[in-house]
A = this chain, B = another copy of it.
């Protein structure tokens, strides 16, 4: 495990698809990020990926990624420069250069953004991220949860509007970043944040998740059209990476999608009706990411456990902004890594943090079936 590896343009599709699966509906669109990143790596060369435990203790590690409404980001595509602008503005502000980049979340796009910037800046990326999935708000990064200040943080929009912020906490930072995305970025922007040394990164990051994205993406590609095979194959790499149980909650058809862009997030609810053998209706609430899956009063899964959609026919991961009426899906749930289940983490990522009047019950425990 403790060895560097190389990420080439040929790895990008797998990392994107695996990221899209792990991102529980969020994390950005697979298509555009994949095309841009593949092109950048072809032009600028491969990127060195360093295991979390191999990062130099004194290295300056910076998280980079895209922030915004996935719905709007589908329409207003990145120009490919914003994340570099954000990093450079942050470096100028703190007066030193990044030694390594890290993803703040995984996703169809956000697993790739650090790779793009790393290729252009000849920097390594860390094989880890700050969520082990995607969440809608930056205080939900394990970096923040375990004590790293999100700021100084810089944000850049597609017309090179830039802000550098220093805030008392990550909650305020999140709101400022989100409004910047709305005001200056047409709904999205790129940030560079959570500057930390390598010693700290080892303590506060979710290890191995970029490799995991790649492994999951390889499964997506290997099991195209074979949902059962895909589901069976998932367990081993997830378990090896410290995730909990993986299970299919329901297979059925999307019968309703209520989605709106609110305050810079995609917010809404989807209804999935089971196929004939199980014709119940499941509701899935989301805020960029899928948050709570219920059938009637029965809660089947909640944040921080992962709720993932895959296409029932192709077994390809589906992001929330692309879900539409009539889509045939399998709704899956995966136990979150322990780092997201501690009392400290649950203060920030439990269902109540998203406005649900629900306690978090780990996916592995029997649910209340009232």
Chain A interfacial positions (CB closer than 8 Å to B) = 89, 93, 159-168, 172, 175-176, 179-180, 183-184
Interface contacts beyond A163-B164, A176-B180: sample of 13 additional A-B pairs, CB < 8 Å, sorted by A: A160-B168, A161-B165, A161-B166, A162-B166, A163-B163, A163-B165, A163-B166, A163-B176, A164-B164, A172-B184, A175-B183, A179-B179, A179-B183
A167, B184: Cβ atoms under 8 Å?
Answer: yes
Q: Give, as a whole number of angstroms, the nearest-CB distance from A161 to chain B.
A: 4
Residues in B whose Cβ lies below 8 Å from that of A184: 167, 172, 175-176
Residue in B89, B175, B183 whose beta carbon sits within 8 Å of that of A176 in the complex: B183
Residue in B89, B168, B176 whose beta carbon sits within 8 Å of that of A179 in the complex: B176
Residues in B whose Cβ lies below 8 Å from that of A161: 165-168, 172, 176
Residue of B nearest to A153 (CB): B163
Residues in B whose Cβ lies below 8 Å from that of A168: 159-161
Residue of B nearest to A89 (CB): B166
Q: Give, as a whole number of angstroms, the nearest-CB distance from A88 to chain B.
A: 12
Residues in B whose Cβ lies below 8 Å from that of A162: 165-167
Q: Give, as a whole number of angstroms, the nearest-CB distance from A341 to chain B.
A: 30
Q: How far is the CA of A165 from the CA of B160 in the complex (A)?
A: 11
Residues in B whose Cβ lies below 8 Å from that of A89: 166
Q: How far is the CA of A194 from the CA of B153 in the complex (A)?
A: 23
Residues in B whose Cβ lies below 8 Å from that of A167: 161-162, 184
Q: Give, as a whole number of angstroms, the nearest-CB distance from A318 to chain B.
A: 33
Residues in B whose Cβ lies below 8 Å from that of A175: 183-184
* Interchain Cβ contacts under 8 Å between A and B, 24 examples: A93-B93, A159-B168, A160-B166, A160-B168, A161-B165, A161-B166, A161-B167, A161-B168, A161-B172, A161-B176, A162-B165, A162-B166, A162-B167, A163-B164, A163-B166, A163-B176, A164-B165, A167-B184, A175-B184, A176-B180, A176-B183, A176-B184, A179-B179, A179-B183
Q: Give, as a whole number of angstroms, the nearest-CB distance from A305 to chain B.
A: 30
3 A-B pairs with least C-beta separation: A179-B179, A163-B165, A161-B167
Q: How far is the CA of A175 from the CA of B157 in the complex (A)?
A: 14
Residue in B160, B163, B164, B172 whose beta carbon sits within 8 Å of that of A183 in the complex: B172
Q: How far is the CA of A61 from the CA of B89 in the complex (A)?
A: 24
Q: How far is the CA of A183 from the CA of B184 in the complex (A)?
A: 16
Residues in B whose Cβ lies below 8 Å from that of A180: 176
Q: Give, as a whole number of angstroms, the nearest-CB distance from A3 to chain B.
A: 40
Q: How far is the CA of A176 from the CA of B89 in the complex (A)?
A: 17
Q: How far is the CA of A159 from the CA of B93 in the complex (A)?
A: 20
Q: Give, as a whole number of angstroms, the nearest-CB distance from A181 to chain B.
A: 11
Residues in B whose Cβ lies below 8 Å from that of A183: 172, 175-176, 179
Q: Give, as a whole number of angstroms, the nearest-CB distance from A182 to chain B.
A: 8
Q: How far is the CA of A167 from the CA of B179 in the complex (A)?
A: 14
Residues in B whose Cβ lies below 8 Å from that of A166: 89, 160-163
Residue of B nearest to A159 (CB): B168
Residues in B whose Cβ lies below 8 Å from that of A159: 168
Q: How far is the CA of A167 from the CA of B161 in the complex (A)?
A: 4
